[in-house]
């Protein structure tokens, strides 16, 4: 491809690394290298493992080197992992989970799809490739996985780079949502200060949805509370301004009065459907759970913020949080509602981090913390950073959660330089 060499790899790993008799699944990873390096030269470059955000996000598909990939490919071979259950790895979706039987059996299977298992896969893959300790770059949830890597297998890491992904090491998911709902409220205020006309427009759309049946291209009725999920735009650096372009497409005139346009409904469907990423909804709250149940944390905590209620005088947009009703309104998630309830009630989640190991960490770590990040709270991130030895923080208010997508080359280079011994 354009300046880029891509090679696919398939690895077979245990479903449960602690029990080899549990059966195996496949993990797919794609290797990227720059054509600036000949094949023989590229084969001797050190590896960089990229851990994608999510949970449930497949590795980046690219047809050319841009952004952070450009910077990384100057000195690394990049291994783009399709974390278990995603992309070309053995899938975990409504069709495959149904074959396992009861919701309890499906939930038990999914307990092997968290960060600890992803890290164990990565270590098996590293050894299969014959790589010495490698560099790991984790974005968002990939940063959470990187912290687990530092806890469980630091001997496999030469250095770690983390962007918008320092998870709380202890505590209940409730603390996450109390912090992030407050950040989302601030981001709503910022957005509507730029586009004050959109304040009335959003309220008008939501009242319209209460009074008139409007249907998404997949056939289900669009509700006001589901529309609020388009607040995912608010986590973007420059992407946030795309929200204005979306809202301006909302209405079209008809002989029976204003209706939502097909253009608007098509765009909204792409934002509020989890058809292509069901694991995100299923596993989202479990990524914070250690020894306690989430019990639909985001939905419970939302009740503490009435300004987000759809019937508020000036309702706010929410974002990527996951709610119980999501499994009723999204047709892609309805078959998974029973297993989602089992996962939400699960008390005995294992530990994801070893605070003692992290406190004695010797692997160089550099982490970008975004001051106004609406998904990975700045204060919780800094508390984690203070608990990890040898971790250097670069805090910046210049970027938001997807900063690596906007200025990835500069962010990567800065973090890499911070880990030089």
The residues annotated as belonging to the active site are: 140, 348, 401
What token pair was written down for 116? 């600890």
- Asked whether 79 and 47 are in contact (CB, 8 A), the reply is yes
Residue 22 vs residues 126, 186, 258: alpha-carbon distances, Å: 22, 47, 57
Rounded Cα distance between 178 and 302, Å, is 8
- Asked whether 163 and 411 are in contact (CB, 8 A), the reply is yes
Rounded Cα distance between 420 and 199, Å, is 47
DSSP per-residue letters across 25-70: EEEEEEEEEETTS-HHHHTTSPEEEEE-SSSSPPPPP-SB--HHHH
Rounded Cα distance between 138 and 163, Å, is 6
DSSP 91: B
Rounded Cα distance between 22 and 399, Å, is 43
Rounded Cα distance between 152 and 165, Å, is 17
What token pair was written down for 164? 């918008």
What token pair was written down for 339? 């297993």
Q: Which neighbouring-strand residues pair with 139?
A: 163
The total of other beta-carbon atoms located within 10 Å of residue 101's CB is 10
Residues in the chain: 421
Q: Which neighbouring-strand residues pair with 32?
A: 6, 78
Rounded Cα distance between 97 and 94, Å, is 5
């Amino acid at each position: 491809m354009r300046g880029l060499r891509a090679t696919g790899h398939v690895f077979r790993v245990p479903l449960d690394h602690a029990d080899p008799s549990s059966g195996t699944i496949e993990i797919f990873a794609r290797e990227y290298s720059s054509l600036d390096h000949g094949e023989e030269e590229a084969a001797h470059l050190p590896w960089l493992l990229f851990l994608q955000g999510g949970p449930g996000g497949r590795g980046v598909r690219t047809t050319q080197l841009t952004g952070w990939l450009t910077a990384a490919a100057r000195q690394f071979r990049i291994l783009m992992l399709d974390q278990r259950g995603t992309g070309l790895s053995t899938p975990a979706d409504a069709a495959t989970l149904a074959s396992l039987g009861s919701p309890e059996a499906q939930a038990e299977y999914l307990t092997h799809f968290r960060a600890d298992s992803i890290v164990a896969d990565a270590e098996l893959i590293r050894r299969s490739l014959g790589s010495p300790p490698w560099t790991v770059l984790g974005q968002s949830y990939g940063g959470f996985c990187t912290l687990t890597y530092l806890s469980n297998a630091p001997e496999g890491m030469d250095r770690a780079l983390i962007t918008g992904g320092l998870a709380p090491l202890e505590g209940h998911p409730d603390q996450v949502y109390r912090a992030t709902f407050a950040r989302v409220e601030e981001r709503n205020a910022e957005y509507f200060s730029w586009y004050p006309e959109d304040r009335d427009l959003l309220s008008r759309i939501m009242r319209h949805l209460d009074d008139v049946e409007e249907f998404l291209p997949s056939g289900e009725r669009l509700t006001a509370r589901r529309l609020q999920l388009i607040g995912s735009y608010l986590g973007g650096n420059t992407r946030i301004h795309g929200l204005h372009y979306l809202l301006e497409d909302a209405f079209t005139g008809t002989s029976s009065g204003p209706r939502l346009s097909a253009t608007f409904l098509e765009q909204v469907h792409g934002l509020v459907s989890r058809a292509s990423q069901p694991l995100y909804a299923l596993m989202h709250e479990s990524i914070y759970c250690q020894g306690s149940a989430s019990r639909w944390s985001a939905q419970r905590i939302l009740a503490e913020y009435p300004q987000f209620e759809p019937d508020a005088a000036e309702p706010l947009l929410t974002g990527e949080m996951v709610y119980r009703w999501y499994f009723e309104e999204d047709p892609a998630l309805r078959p998974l509602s029973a297993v989602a309830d089992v996962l939400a009630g699960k008390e005995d989640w294992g530990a994801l981090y070893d605070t003692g190991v992290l406190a004695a960490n010797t692997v160089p770590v550099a982490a970008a913390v975004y001051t106004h990040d609406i998904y990975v709270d700045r204060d919780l991130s800094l508390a984690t950073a203070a608990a990890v030895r040898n971790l250097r923080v670069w805090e910046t208010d210049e970027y938001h959660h997807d900063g690596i997508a906007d200025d990835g080359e500069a962010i990567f280079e800065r973090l890499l330089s911070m880990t030089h011994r």
